[in-house]
Structure 1
């Protein structure tokens, strides 16, 4: 059909779209959000099962009174509060629309055309979307036999075209976390001109010996960028606020390519209030960790081989789950998250977790 043919079409007929889209965009995988089902417990998204505290909701409400004004583009108060909480300087903090927003900006700051980004797989599904978005080439590295990140294989994959490496600890969707000493050893092997992005979205829930945040490594490794979020233990997934922690020159570069006014005034106010109430955060972590450990123990007792999750979810490999398992959960009014490699089940309220464990026992014939 030619352009003149379009002119002869009836007014109600849609016209052909001829914008030349980038081939990389056409080839992008689409992010699939956790599904919901009316009347069902949603265990398909890694959300906090409890809502924000009344103080957080009140702070967000007050911020709405000034919704006619632009938010503080520099998020000065929030960055200062995060810096105090972590023991770093405010100029070492950059904020964005969730940690995924900071990720895209960070990759945009370092990815020249053809630059490679080494990342684990299966891992967070934003990675193979964010990398081409920033002009990079994804280089996935398989997990090890325990569904954990294979740092040795990732180190061997870094080459002269590598612009960045992404690590995820604890790893989403499988759950294992990296020991801090292993992260340090990996950083020592990695060229200093290569950006290392460590996604710590779930680190507050990690309890395994030797596992912890890599913030203490920042002084030693100026090529390290740590991603954190308010979406999980802080219960603010719906407000989209995350942040990065790094050398000040790195955060300045990330901020330069970030969306202006990307974090709303409501999100900033809620995050400030949530950060100030560490008692509520500690209670939330205790509840989530207790439920996670109960789910892992029950699943193992009835014969499932499940990785040692350090996050707010458990992972059932495909050979022990699959579509039939997902259907069994759906029949019990539970929505879980299927992947080709397995099924991820987020920690929910205890009564929902009870129902999930009943399904898992019945499915296993235990």
Structure 2
């Protein structure tokens, strides 16, 4: 019998957000609201729709494996050389390519925990040791929800090839500030590549949360990951990018790139999205305004919600997390539970968030009924 490697057999399956149409059919309602996957509620940008329609006529051909037009557009936008840029099928694929490029068996990858759930899986696939550094409270008396950069630095040793800093952190939404991040970057050994995972950068409103690309300058062991899946509204097309201070980092990622994995449609859409930045900024402003309204409403209902810098909020419910998520699903609202820890709730449209709040009120009222 042919068997996969033991480490692969033991890997937990990635659990995507549930399909709302499936849930609606299951519970017999017209519509379910999905607030589980941190998508934006807006439809695709008009320029994106036009670009995809134009590109469809060429899909009998392979896409540009080097994504030259997209790479040039990103390099121009961020003021870097194209050699510092690598594109991929979503930021998570770039994470995998980084692990393949830098980790041998016996090496390690360090990251905060809880953070992006793919980090430990990528370490396992690469044959590397996953070093999880527990989160710490980001505010007096709060729950552990923020990177412990001192702890992360202490966990880095001669085996550590990669260190991920998810900022803002998924799933807690908290962010580390400039001074502590600069101290951390300056202290990390030169042989460890620090990857600032900024999938939610466009939703940051705190001026003291730094732009990772600014901190990258002059630090050859720092790279920044971003994605078009969130703020830019291209989750269904899968395109992310890495920008590295040292072009050799981007080159290493390109060498592990799966050929043609950024589709022709994805490349065209991303270029068109970059040309619609003013509209994207307006959409992000609407999301962050709604984030504040939702946060206030949740706090009014007794939830201990930290200030989020992403397009989601975190409910630190401990052992009650799975139960609340199940109760919400029974009322046609899909969230993302992390059993024993909390529930991540995407900031949806105002109407979607009102459905969530009404469902929470129903759960609370039903619990009061003897």
Is the TM-score greater than 0.5?
Answer: yes
Distance in structure 2 (CA, Å) of the matches to 1:355 and 1:44: 14
Are residues 1:80 and 2:65 paired?
A: no
Moved more, 98-107 or 36-45: 36-45
Q: Are the structure 2 counterparts of residues 320 and 280 from structure 1 closer, same or farther at C-alpha, using a change threshold of 3 Å?
A: farther
The TM-score with structure 2 as length reference comes to: 0.91
Contact 1:316 1:342 in 2 (8 A): yes
- Residue 318 of structure 1 aligns with which residue? 317
Moved more, 167-176 or 132-141: 132-141
2:110 to 89, 112, 118: 118
Matches within 5 A, 1:351-362: 351-362=351-362
- Residue 206 of structure 2 aligns with which residue? 208
Distance in structure 2 (CA, Å) of the matches to 1:323 and 1:165: 30
Distance in structure 2 (CA, Å) of the matches to 1:364 and 1:310: 27
Matches within 5 A, 1:160-179: 160-179=158-177
- Residue 6 of structure 2 aligns with which residue? 23
For residue 36 of structure 2, give the secondary structure of its aligned residue in structure 1: coil
1:139-158 alpha-carbon deviations (Å, 9 max, x no partner):
11111124111111111111
Are residues 1:332 and 2:327 paired?
A: no
Contact 1:96 1:243 in 2 (8 A): yes
- Residue 180 of structure 1 aligns with which residue? 178
Contact 2:335 2:345 in 1 (8 A): yes
Q: Are the structure 2 counterparts of residues 320 and 24 from structure 1 closer, same or farther at C-alpha, using a change threshold of 3 Å?
A: closer
Consecutive unaligned residues in structure 1, runs of 5 or more: 1-17
2:86 to 80, 94, 100: 94
Distance in structure 2 (CA, Å) of the matches to 1:207 and 1:102: 26
For residue 236 of structure 2, give the secondary structure of its aligned residue in structure 1: helix
Q: Which has the larger radius of gyration?
A: 1
Structure 1's consecutive aligned runs of 4 or more residues displaced over 6 angstroms after TM superposition are none
Contact 2:333 2:359 in 1 (8 A): no
Are residues 1:308 and 2:291 paired?
A: no
1:71 to 63, 71, 75: 63
Contact 2:41 2:349 in 1 (8 A): yes
Consecutive unaligned residues in structure 2, runs of 5 or more: 25-30, 139-144
Give the drift of 1:311.
Answer: 0.5
Distance in structure 1 (CA, Å) of the matches to 2:87 and 2:179: 27
Give the drift of 1:359.
Answer: 3.0
1:39-78 alpha-carbon deviations (Å, 9 max, x no partner):
2011111101112112211101111111011111111110
- Residue 256 of structure 1 aligns with which residue? 255
For residue 204 of structure 1, give the secondary structure of its aligned residue in structure 2: helix
Are residues 1:275 and 2:274 paired?
A: yes
Distance in structure 2 (CA, Å) of the matches to 1:323 and 1:239: 30
Contact 1:180 1:214 in 2 (8 A): no
CA RMSD of aligned residues (A): 1.5
For residue 136 of structure 2, give the secondary structure of its aligned residue in structure 1: coil
Distance in structure 2 (CA, Å) of the matches to 1:171 and 1:235: 19
Contact 2:146 2:172 in 1 (8 A): yes
- Residue 130 of structure 2 aligns with which residue? 138
Contact 2:337 2:344 in 1 (8 A): yes
Contact 1:332 1:355 in 2 (8 A): no
Give the drift of 1:79.
Answer: 0.6
Give the drift of 1:280.
Answer: 1.2
- Alignment: residue pair count: 349
Matches within 5 A, 1:1-20: 18-20=1-3
